[in-house]
A and B are shown apart, each in its own frame.
Chain A
Amino acid sequence: MLLAVCSIFALSIAAPFLHRIAKDYCAPLLALLPGSICFYFISLAPRIAEGKPVEEKWEWVPSLGANLTFYVEGLSLLFAILVTGIGTLIVIYAGGYFKGDAASGRFYSLLLLFMGAMLGIVISDNLFALFVFWELTSISSYLLIGYNHKDEESRSSALQALIVTGGGGLALLAGFVLLGMAAGSFEISAINQSGPEVVHHSLYPLVVIGVLVGAFTKSAQFPFHFWLPNAMAAPAPVSAYLHSATMVKAGVFLLARLHPSIADTPVFVWTVSIVGAMTMLLGAVMGAISTDMKRMLAYTTVSILGCLTLLLGVGVESALFAFGVLVLAHALYKGTLFLVAGTVEKLSGERNVKHLGGLFSRLPALGIAGSLAAMSMIGVPLFFGFVAKEAIYEAALKATNMSGLWIAAMVVSSALFVAVAILVGIKPFFGPEVRELTVKKAPALMLVGPLMLSVLGFAFFFLPDLLGKYLIHPSSAAVIGDANIIVLKSWHGLNAVLGLSVLTIAIGIVIYRFLPKLGSVSESSFAKDPFGAISVYERSLAGVLRFGQWQASTLQNGYLRKYILLTICVTTAFAGIVFILHTNWKSLHLTFDLRVHEAALIIVMVAAVAILVRASSRLTAIVALGVLGYAVALVFMLYGAPDLTMTQLCIETLSVVLFVFVLYRLPQFIRLSRRRTRLRDAIVASCVGALMACLVLVASSEPADSHLRQYYSTKAYEEAFGRNVVNVILVDFRALDTLGEITVLAVAAIGVFALLKLRPPADTEGAA
């Protein structure tokens, strides 16, 4: 399993190089790998049908609960075969689609990256491993949608898809972590065996929100549906593969895979059913009123995804059975139609159904594939789509709640499908020629995929036993257990379900007849953005950006004085409030034993500060600052630190002298600030001073027992051989500090030298 995934990733890395060597033969060569992996999975079918899942375990990041464990049961197998099988055909198709495009090596690389990741999703047992692959599909989808990267629309569609699925992915991650915590394991197989544990856990509501948002965004459920039609900016192979057959099904796959552990609550059932039904109807209506082939197919894909979601909500055994049948049928006919539409567009440059017609004579093989797929989509007997349609009606009939409503919704959307199928699959080939189109010849590589898929959609009708036994039944058994075996039949005889099928086709043909009369509906604002989901997305993105702009320009406003003010205010206010609230003021004993000379010193300092801040010339300010410094030196003196006093006096003298030298070169001092600003600054500064004073006062009320002082005064002479304790501290006890400070001075010297001497060369001034 790991080998299968990793070999695809390896091929993804090798693809650009291989493409450079093999040129146009590259695609069939690349297809060999997914093809053989597909056969490998098919060969597992008999074993899995017997109820023996294939497991594989590799340790990855066990500290975080992430391991590469794989667990392939029926559901995984069905999806794995689809991912690799259709993937093989898509790679071959791309060989024709990108014929002669020298840069298409990148395309294969991304496509294979996606394929490996998608395969990883469907076979992973570990939630985190699944998530890793999940996100990789989002990223590769982003890069593939934006493949035509020079086009602005491609880029914004790619971003939209990434934001929606990526955002959902993050919710999913939270959901996964919570699910693992609730179930006590991060392995899906273990979680599913934990029975009702998850459902009754207090975290369950959050788990459901996370998982559903993740699944709904990925599977384009309402109201997150809008990214999928826009993703049609991607090249045809991408639309067919990612945005129809595989990636968009990851969401419903996940819900099915987790179904045993999380589905058994009314919240889940109702949310999933209603969202599914709404999406199904919305997609079908939108598909029918669109005229762009790819958008029609995209919307009907949305509709099918809604139907799959609804089936999971209905949740009865026959619903999960129908789920498997529909996944298979849809992959076959929709894959074909996407490839047909892509080929038509590539060869004729036209993808508006109104302008297409009469192409059968020039593209016969494509016409056969398209019409076969359309018949399957319509649900004509003798096609696998018919079997699928019967199965979903059957499931809706057996639903425990609201059966009638679900049936009505299914019939309406299926009828609309009929119209879409005729418009996309049949009319372009057999309809009247609308206008003269220059059509190129179809390369053989582009025909393999559509023909093969459409023929399978025909052939599978005749193989119900085989498919039922090895694919469909194991897939539903994986979700719901195999209490009763439903047998896949192609023909159920004349019953209610068949009646519904006939009714569907009849209504569908009527709709097809009336559709042209609707005319301009596809141009209406509803058609462009039903229920305003896109505008919600765009407005919230714009809102976030506007808020970001506002806060960036408010906070990062470019004024250093405002930065300093805010920094000091925040620090002082925060520290001050915490300090005041948590100090036990009652137990505080402060003694003020102030002597006359100390009081005099304080008066001198206060006066110096007053003169300093009110000074109108720089010289006065410097002198006042010097007075303040000398007063501090005297404080040191009073408290018995003569060496510190000496140092302080030297520094003060030196700095006053230096300042005077600098002042000489400075322009006239002008007071630019307003009185209010100065008042504000005075208040802030006083608060800072008050806070520091209070902190020191309270700190000094604690019994100070500096064990260092005793040690230094004895050891300084005994062991460090110095009489001056301060000097010994500086050069011995704490020599590293001194080394650091010397370095600071040295660097400052280099800096001054460089600032004076190193000027930018004239031509780069202002260029940076």
Chain B
Amino acid sequence: MTSIVSLPIVIPLATAAGMLLVRRNILLQRVIGVVGSAALLAAAIKLLYVCYTEGIQVLQLGTWPAPFGISLVCDVFSGIMLVLAGIMSLTTSLYAVADIERRRTAFGFYSLLHILMMGICGAFLTGDLFNLYVWFEVMLIASFVLIALGGEKPQMEGAIKYVALNLIASMILVAAVGLVYGLTGSLNMADVAVHLRDVRQEGVVLGIAILFMAAFGIKAAVFPVFFWLPASYHTPPAAISAVFAGLLTKVGVYALIRTFTLIFTENPQLTHAALVVIAAATMLSGVLGAAVQMDFRRVLSFHIISQIGYMVLGLALFTPLAIAGAVFYILHHIIVKANLFFVSGVVHRLRGTYDLKKLGGLYATHVWLGVLFMIPAMSLAGIPPLSGFWAKLAIIRSGLEIEAYWVVGVALFVGLLTLYSMTKIWAEAFWKEPASPGPIGYASTSGLGWMVVPIVLLAAITVAIGLGAEPAFEVATKAGQELVNPQIYIDAVLGGRQ
């Protein structure tokens, strides 16, 4: 049974490789892309089911026992993330049929997308610190090429900033991994967690912990190291920025949660207290940035940062409910945020611009799009009974339970400003009368159905995990329980032998 653990890495790799063979056949690439994504999703769902019912699944690659080889580990948290990756892969592949033009497809859009998925799934599955670094490299190079693919001027500018700042994060990460290896003589996360407890020099462990926090913090775009995100995410085509906005930054959050629940848990008074401050600053800074933007996708980009703050806050509060809340938050956010970028792409298709000043009148002409925008937008703002409300409620409740009043206050205030900027998009793009009646730039409705189907799908998921939050929250709670009891993970990987 454990061999299915490797499927989320193998399937995207095989899909990408297969597509490189049919580089000139656009139609075949699209078919393979969609089929490969569906297979990935199916494998991920199966894996999550197995994890949920039977406990953590471990695959020792090459049958070398841990900690000597590389372990692939899938707990419920990883399983949830994989399913989300599958959903994103499938919806993006569908959306891209209409959104990514032939020239970009011919130069390998689909294979890059699936290589990206391979890196993301690898990061979710690996139980090895250096291997995690390798997956981050795979993601970085794939995402860099995806941002730059097409060679438009703003794309190039965004791509340079993106790659420069992310390389710094990679450098910090690899230095920290090296230090961990020097200290413990091991790279296997479970083994490292065990051995770090014996280190007498607390200072160096905490120093390394901060380096990890910085590296993953940059990847996750927290305050004050988020610059690369608003500089780049609004430049590529909507399909690409959607998958980045939804999934990619969340890999950083995943890695933060993984390392700061499994490895660096000895001194939460310092590490997790620091995370509380970082979370609060991230929430505020992001939402304040969003409130003043006048470009559809830049508003959304700054909101990613703000919402990352909520997820980090869940980790920082470090109670079972808070961690479950963080997991649920990630789950909700990936769906909602990607969907908002998808909607922005449709708006661009219809009106030829992302500029809120020039947009307008869509409520009169496209009510259905208004509804499809409102569902994720209100969910993002935490309006009940949509998914974002439950995510926020869990975080706020756990904050109040441990009397962290000030940060709850910040979270609530940020919620209000989120609502403000979502209604700004609504009022500017949908309600107000446009300055000029026709489309501003290139606009076309051909193939619009391919773009609408994923939006409807994601909106349906948002409504479903809002109205029927209990099952999703139960799974998140189970993930949270495993995370706050790292011994379960350690035993599963090392086989109870320490």
Q: Enumerate chain A interface residues (CB-CB to B < 8 A).
A: 59-66, 103, 106, 128, 131-132, 135-136, 139, 142, 146, 149-150, 152, 155, 159, 162-163, 166-167, 170-171, 173-174, 177-178, 181, 206, 544-545, 547-549, 551-552, 555-556, 558, 560, 563-564, 566-568, 570-571, 574-576, 578-584, 587-588, 691-692, 695-696, 698-702, 704-709, 711-712, 715, 732-737, 740-741, 743-744, 746-748, 750-751, 753-755, 757-761, 764-768
A747 touches B115 (CB 8 A): yes
With A64-B473, A571-B214, A707-B186 known as contacts, the answer to whether A551 contacts B383 (CB < 8 A) is: no
Query: Which B residues touch A768, using CB under 8 A?
Result: 152, 154-155, 235
Taking CB atoms, residues of chain A closer than 8 Å to B415 are: 170
Q: What is the CA–CA distance of A712 and B130 in the complex, to the nearest angstrom?
A: 17
A582→B393 CA distance, assembly (Å): 36
Given contacts A61-B473, A167-B416, A560-B160, contact A177 B131 (CB under 8 A): no
The 8 Å CB contact of B151, one of A59, A706, A734, A759, is: A759
13 A-B residue pairs with CB within 8 Å: A136-B384, A146-B427, A159-B423, A163-B419, A177-B400, A544-B291, A552-B293, A552-B302, A584-B200, A747-B142, A750-B112, A751-B144, A753-B107
Interface centre among A64, A708, A764 (most CB of B within 10 A): A64
Contact B70–A575 (Cβ < 8 Å):
no
Shortest Cβ distance from A419 into chain B, in angstroms?
A: 37
Taken together as a complex, chains A and B put the C-alpha atoms of A735 and B151 apart, in Å, by 34
- Residues of chain A within 8 A (CB-CB) of B203 are 578-584, 698
A163 vs B470: C-alpha distance in the bound complex, in angstroms?
A: 29
Residues of chain B within 8 A of A163, CB atoms compared: 416, 419-420
Q: Are B182 and A741 in contact (CB under 8 A)?
A: no
Q: How large is the interface on B (under 10, 10 to 19, 20 to 34, 35 or more residues)?
A: 35 or more
Q: What does the 1/0 interface line of B139-174 toward A look like (CB < 8 Å)?
A: 001101100111111110000110011001000100
Rounded to whole Å, the gap between the CB of A271 and the closest CB of chain B is: 20
One of A131, A136, A699 near B179 (C-beta < 8 A): A699
Q: Is there contact, CB below 8 Å, between B185 and A64?
A: no
Interface residues of B in 376-400 (CB under 8 A from A): 378, 383-385, 389-390, 393-394, 396-397, 400
- Residue pair A128, B393 in contact (C-beta under 8 Å): yes
Q: Which stretch of B90-98, B223-231, B488-496 is in the interface?
A: B223-231
A154's closest neighbor in chain B, by CB? B431
Complex Cα distance, B154 from A174, in Å, reads 43
Asked if A702 meets B199 with Cβ closer than 8 Å, knowing A63-B473, A575-B211, the reply is yes
Residues of A within 8 A of B107 (CB): 750, 753-754, 757-758
Interface centre among B150, B227, B420, by most chain A C-beta atoms within 10 angstroms, is B227
Residues of B within 8 A of A764 (CB): 152, 442
Chain A positions within 8 Å of B430 at CB level? 149
Residues from chain B with a CB closer than 8 A to the CB of A705 are 185
User: Which of chain A's residues has its CB closest to B202's CB?
Assistant: A582
Q: Which of B182, B270, B412 contacts A174 (CB 8 A)?
A: B412
Contact B179 A696 (CB under 8 A): yes
- Pairwise interchain contact A174-B400, C-beta atoms closer than 8 A: yes
Q: Which residues of A contact B49 (CB under 8 A)?
A: none
Contact A692 B175 (CB under 8 A): yes
Compute how far the CA of A132 lies from the CA of B416 in the bound complex, rounded to whole angstroms: 16
Q: Is B210 an interface residue (CB 8 A)?
A: yes
B137 contacts across to A, CB distance below 8 A: 740-741, 744
Selecting from B50-58, B60-68, B251-259, the interface stretch reads: B60-68
The reply to whether A206 and B390 contact each other, CB–CB distance below 8 Å, is no
Bound-state CA distance A582–B151 (Å) is 48
CA distance A269 to B317 in the complex (A): 36
Q: Are A575 and B214 in contact (CB under 8 A)?
A: yes
Q: Is the CB of B68 within 8 A of A566?
A: no
- Alpha-carbon distance A146/B202, docked complex (angstroms): 59
Q: Which residues of A contact B441 (CB under 8 A)?
A: 767
Which of B70, B141, B364 meets A737, CB within 8 Å? B70
**Are the CB atoms of A711 and B68 closer together than 8 Å?**
yes
The answer to whether A575 touches B201, judged by C-beta atoms less than 8 angstroms apart, is no
Residue of A nearest to B144 (CB): A751
| Majority DSSP secondary structure for residues of A touching B | helix
A residues near B30, Cβ cutoff 8 Å: none
Alpha-carbon distance between A767 and B440 when the two chains are bound, in angstroms: 11
Residue of B whose beta carbon sits closest to that of A754:
B107
Q: What are the residues of chain B within 8 A of A62 when measuring CB–CB?
A: 470
| Residue in B closest to A170 when the chains form the complex, CB atoms | B412
Please name the residue on chain B nearest to A757 by beta carbon.
B107
Q: Is the CB of B378 within 8 A of A139?
A: yes
> Would you list the 3 A-B pairs with minimal beta carbon distance, nearest first?
A583-B203, A706-B185, A579-B207
In the bound assembly, the distance between CA atoms of A701 and B131 in angstroms comes to 26
Whole-angstrom CA separation of A170 from B224 in the bound complex: 27
Whether B405 contacts A206 by the Cβ 8 Å rule is yes
A744 to B13, CA, bound (A): 12
| Contact, CB under 8 Å: A563 / B69 | no
15 further A-B pairs in the complex, CB-CB below 8 A; given A552-B288, A555-B224, A571-B210:
A166-B419, A177-B393, A544-B291, A564-B165, A564-B168, A571-B225, A576-B207, A582-B206, A699-B183, A704-B183, A708-B185, A740-B138, A746-B115, A751-B141, A754-B107
Q: When the two chains form their complex, are residues A708 and B207 in contact, meaning their CB atoms are under 8 A apart?
A: no
Contact A174 B292 (CB under 8 A): no
Say how far A564's CB is from chain B's closest CB, in angstroms: 7
Q: Are A735 and B62 in contact (CB-based, < 8 A)?
A: yes
Q: Please tell me if B18 contacts chain A, counting CB pairs below 8 Å.
A: no
B36 within 8 A of A: no
Q: How far is the CA of A753 from the CA of B210 in the complex (A)?
A: 38
B24 within 8 A of A: no
Task: Give chain B nearest CB distance to A230 CB in angstroms.
Answer: 15
Which one of B61, B115, B394 contacts A743 once the chains associate, using CB atoms below 8 Å? Answer: B115
Alpha-carbon distance between A177 and B144 when the two chains are bound, in angstroms: 44
**Given known A555-B227, A695-B179, contact A737–B427 (CB-CB < 8 A):** no
Residue of B nearest to A738 (CB): B134
Q: Is there contact, CB below 8 Å, between A579 and B206?
A: yes
Q: Contact: B141 with A744, CB < 8 Å?
A: yes
B141 contacts across to A, CB distance below 8 A: 744, 747-748, 751
User: B218 interface residue, CB < 8 Å from A?
Assistant: yes
Tell whether A564 pairs with B164 under 8 Å between CB atoms, given A570-B225, A704-B182, A708-B68: yes
Interface 0/1 of B212-237, CB less than 8 Å to A: 00100010000011011011000100
- Give Cα A571–Cα B138 distance, bound, in whole angstroms: 24
Residues A560 and B408 in contact in the complex (CB < 8 Å), given A551-B289, A715-B68: no
Instruction: Compute how far the CA of A63 lies from the CA of B154 in the bound complex, rounded to whole angstroms.
Output: 46
Q: In the complex, which of the residues B172, B363, B419 contacts A149, with contact meaning CB atoms closer than 8 Å? A: B363
Nearest chain B residue, comparing its CB with the CB of A149: B431
Query: Contacts A163-B416, A747-B115 hold; do A758 and B206 have CB atoms under 8 A apart?
Result: no
Complex interface: chain B residues within 8 A of A579 (CB) = 203-204, 206-207, 210
B470 touches A60 (CB 8 A): yes
Q: Which of A64, A149, A571 contacts B394 (CB 8 A)?
A: A64
- B400 in contact with A178 (CB, 8 Å): yes
Task: Point out the residues of chain A lying under 8 angstroms from B456, CB to CB.
Answer: none
A64 engages B397 (CB within 8 Å): yes
* B367 CB–A CB distance under 8 Å: yes
Instruction: State the CA gap A711–B65 with chains docked (Å).
Output: 11
- Shortest CB distance A142–B (Å): 7
Which of B134, B149, B183, B409 makes the CB contact (< 8 A) with A754? B149
Contact of A132 among B111, B119, B384 (CB under 8 A): B384
Most chain A Cβ neighbours within 10 Å, of B135, B324, B389, B469: B389
Bitwise, B181-204 to A at CB < 8 A (1) or not (0) is 011011000000000000111111
Name the distance in Å between B49's Cβ and chain A's nearest Cβ. Answer: 20
Q: Which residue in chain A gives the minimum CB-CB distance to B237?
A: A768
B211 & A567 in contact (Cβ 8 Å cutoff) = no
A146 lies within 8 A of B431 (CB): yes
What CA separation (Å) do A60 and B201 show in the bound complex? 49
Query: Considering the chains assembled together, what is the distance between the CA atoms of A584 and B470 in angstroms?
Result: 48
Q: How far is the CA of A702 from the CA of B199 in the complex (A)?
A: 7
| Closest A residue by C-beta to B201 | A698
